[in-house]
């Protein structure tokens, strides 16, 4: 798709959303796989002042419901392949219903129909910089997904800072490696477009699929999860010349294992530039493309970010000391949508508490030391232990369940569950419990289940996950 085609399509879609009944400031959720249509949707929302609410395409019906209710979405753009789940969700009760993609069933509520809308001669009301632009969902330590709200101003600042950090230029080709329902891949795409670069949206983000994109499009920039990079370098018939077009190969979303860094260098001759970001702040640090790349470090702060390492009392710590990372930036989120208490607990005097433990060296490079939160990060997706525990305990034989993340070289962390059974209950096999949990929590289901005679509990009678 050319620049002209993208501009015309997004303008038509923007006009179509307004004609459909949405107004600036209204929220519209999306449940879509990666495609040019999804990018048109996001750009159309930005042009019309309608707030985009991306939902993870792997969401189960209860998670879809939570996203729709929390955001107060008035409509949902959904792929036809998710019709069965949509039918059992609250989407059917949305004020403006569901806009279908890939179906000709209802021409009025159809993505293709909105693309045929006449382009408005002028925009009647430009959104203010402080107006909300997008709400990303991320899991918190309580187990409930929170909506991370960014304004047009903070979104624009994130894009500008990231483009500068990657030194992106118009002759670059940015290859996406993940779902644009996440801030990571969407920010990669918007950063590329803002710099005038070409953006490649692959139909598949597994190793063989990305390898085909390398050979066909010769990208210069790739930013990926460690698990995605593992799949790429281990893809059958991958050769050094496949990677020869890259000038920047980045990894983020989880710590890069030494094994991965060595495999990438052995195959491609390239070093992996680690970076660090969150839905709440965008990408805040990177090993500079034109500077020293310290293996194991998440790099230095990008222009537009101010960082501070603090102890539990809020005192700033010297280089080498471990403490929580705080961020002050115009890229910081406006807050958690509809959750003022969580916002106040996270942002204090303009500084955002990431909850991640870091240290900084004498050269200003940051080193990740761990997470205070109990969230399990599997393939870049945040998984709450409580969600999985509750799913397991719905089984009639399970008395108590405890879930932890176990470090894994490829996936970052794998979900392991421990259960005790009710006295006298017929004991299901571990695989049966995995299938049972998967029916309600989908991809969050554990990889392994272990039986305990007694569950370790804390002093407050809660499952002790660190014993």
Secondary structure, 3-state, the chain: CCHHHHHHHHHHHHHHHHHHCCCCCCEEEEECCCCHHHHHHHHHHHHHCCEEEECCCCCCHHHHHHHHHHHCCCEEEEEHHHHHHHHCCHHHHCCCCEEEECCCCCCCCEHHHHCCCCCCCCCCCCCCCCCEEEEEEEECCCCCEEEEEEEHHHHHHHHHHHHHHHCCCCCCEEECCCCCCCHHHHHHHHHHHHCCCEEECCCCCCHHHHHHHHHHHCCCEEEECHHHHHHHHCCCCCCHHHHCCCCEEEECCCCCCHHHHHHHHHHHCCCCEEEEEECCCEEEEECCCCCCCCCCCCEEECCCCEEEEECCCCCECCCCCCEEEEEECCCCCCEECCCHHHHHHHEECCEEEEEEEEEECCCCCEEEEEECCCCEEECCEEECHHHHHHHHCCCCCEEEEEEEEEEECCCEEEEEEEEEECCCCCCCCHHHHHHHHHHHHHHHCCCEEEECCCCCECCCCCECCCC
Do 227 and 194 form a contact (C-beta atoms < 8 A)? no
pLDDT tier for residue 141 given thresholds of 50, 70 and 90: very low
Which neighbouring-strand residues pair with 278?
282
Q: Is 269 left (phi over 0), alpha (psi -120 to 50) or beta?
A: left
pLDDT tier for residue 226 given thresholds of 50, 70 and 90: confident
pLDDT at position 140: 46
- Between 387 and 350, where is the model more confident? 350
Q: Is pLDDT at 143 greater than 70 in this prediction?
A: no
pLDDT at position 393: 85
Q: Which residues of 239-273 are buried (b: 16+ CB within 10 A; e: fewer)?
A: eeebbebbebbbbbbbbbbeebbebbeebbebebb
- % of the chain surpassing 70 pLDDT: 94
**Averaged pLDDT of the chain:** 91
Neighbouring C-beta atoms of residue 125, cutoff 10 Å = 10
What average pLDDT score do residues 276-280 get?
A: 94
pLDDT tier for residue 149 given thresholds of 50, 70 and 90: very high
pTM: 0.83
Closest CA to 63 of 340, 382, 450: 382
Q: Is pLDDT at 65 greater than 60 in this prediction?
A: yes
- Distances from the Cα of 183 to the Cα of 122, 126, 297, 340, angstroms: 30, 24, 22, 22
Which neighbouring-strand residues pair with 309?
325
pLDDT tier for residue 135 given thresholds of 50, 70 and 90: very high
Structural domain boundaries in the chain? 3-127, 153-316, 376-451
Q: Is pLDDT at 459 greater than 50 in this prediction?
A: no
What average pLDDT score do residues 291-308 get?
A: 95
Neighbouring C-beta atoms of residue 407, cutoff 10 Å = 10
pLDDT at position 230: 86
Select from 3.30.300.30, 1.10.3260.10, 3.40.50.720, 3.30.300.20 the CATH code of 376-451. 3.30.300.30
Interior CA angle at 153 toward 364 and 368, to 5°?
25
Q: Is pLDDT at 346 greater than 90 in this prediction?
A: yes
Helix axes 258-268, 226-233, angle to 10 degrees: 40
Q: Is pLDDT at 31 greater than 80 in this prediction?
A: yes
Euclidean distance between CA atoms 22 and 97, whole angstroms = 11
Q: How does pLDDT run across 397-417, given as a tens digit for each residue? A: 998 889 999 999 888 999 999
Q: Is pLDDT at 460 greater than 50 in this prediction?
A: no
pLDDT at position 382: 75
Do 3-127 and 153-316 agree at the fold level?
yes
What average pLDDT score do residues 119-140 get?
A: 81
Interior CA angle at 189 toward 81 and 331, to 5°?
115
Q: How does pLDDT run across 354-385, given as a tens digit for each residue? A: 988 899 999 999 998 877 667 788 888 878 78
CATH class for the region spanning 3-127? alpha beta
What is the spatial order of strands in the sheet that 335-336 belongs to? 98-101, 75-79, 27-31, 51-54, 132-139, 145-151, 335-336
Neighbouring C-beta atoms of residue 453, cutoff 10 Å = 6
pLDDT tier for residue 461 given thresholds of 50, 70 and 90: very low
**Architecture category of domain 153-316 in CATH:** 3-Layer(aba) Sandwich (3.40)
Phi, psi for residue 396 in degrees, rounded to 5: -60, -20
Contacts of 429 (CB under 8 A, 6+ apart): none
pLDDT at position 188: 97
């Amino acid at each position: 798709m050319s620049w002209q085609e993208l501009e015309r399509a997004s303008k038509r879609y923007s006009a179509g959303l307004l004609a459909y009944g949405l107004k600036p400031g209204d929220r519209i959720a999306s449940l879509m796989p990666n495609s040019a249509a999804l990018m048109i949707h996001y750009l159309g929302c930005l042009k019309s002042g309608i707030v985009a609410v991306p939902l993870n395409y792997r969401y189960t019906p209860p998670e879809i419901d939570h996203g729709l209710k929390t955001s107060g979405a008035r409509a949902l753009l959904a792929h036809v392949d998710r019709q069965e789940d949509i039918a059992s969700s609250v989407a059917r009760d949305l004020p403006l219903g569901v806009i279908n993609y890939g179906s000709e069933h209802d021409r009025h509520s159809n993505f293709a129909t909105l693309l045929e809308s006449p382009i408005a001669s002028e925009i009647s009301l430009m959104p203010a910089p402080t107006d909300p632009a997008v709400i990303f969902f991320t899991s918190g330590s309580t187990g409930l997904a929170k909506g991370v709200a960014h304004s047009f101003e903070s979104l624009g600042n994130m894009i500008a800072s990231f483009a500068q950090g990657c030194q992106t230029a118009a002759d670059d080709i940015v290859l996406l490696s993940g779902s644009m329902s996440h801030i990571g891949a969407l920010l990669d795409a918007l950063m590329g477009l803002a710099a005038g670069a070409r953006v490649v949206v692959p139909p598949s983000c597994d190793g063989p699929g990305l390898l085909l994109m390398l050979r066909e499009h010769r990208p210069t920039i790739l930013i990926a999860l460690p698990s995605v990079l593992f799949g790429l370098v281990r893809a059958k018939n991958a050769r050094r010349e496949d990677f020869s077009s890259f000038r920047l190969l980045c990894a983020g979303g989880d710590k890069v294992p030494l094994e991965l860094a060595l495999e990438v260098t052995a195959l491609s001759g390239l070093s992996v530039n680690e970076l660090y970001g969150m839905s709440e702040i965008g990408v805040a640090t990177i090993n500079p493309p034109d500077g020293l790349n310290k293996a194991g470090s998440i790099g230095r702060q990008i222009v537009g970010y101010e960082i501070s390492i603090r102890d539990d009392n809020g005192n700033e710590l010297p280089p080498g000391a471990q403490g929580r990372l705080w961020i002050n930036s115009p890229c910081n989120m406006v807050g958690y949508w509809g959750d003022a208490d969580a916002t106040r607990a996270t942002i204090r005097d303009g500084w955002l508490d990431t909850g991640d433990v870091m240290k900084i060296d004498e050269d200003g490079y940051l080193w990740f030391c761990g997470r205070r939160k109990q969230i399990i990060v599997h393939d870049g997706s945040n998984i709450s232990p409580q969600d999985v525990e509750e799913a397991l305990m719905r089984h009639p034989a399970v008395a108590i369940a405890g879930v932890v993340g176990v470090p894994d070289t490829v996936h970052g962390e794998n979900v392991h569950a421990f259960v005790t059974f009710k006295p006298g209950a017929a004991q299901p096999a571990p695989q049966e419990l995995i299938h049972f949990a998967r029916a309600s929590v989908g991809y969050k289901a554990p990889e392994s289940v272990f039986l305990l005679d007694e569950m370790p509990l804390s002093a407050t009678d809660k499952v002790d996950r660190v014993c």
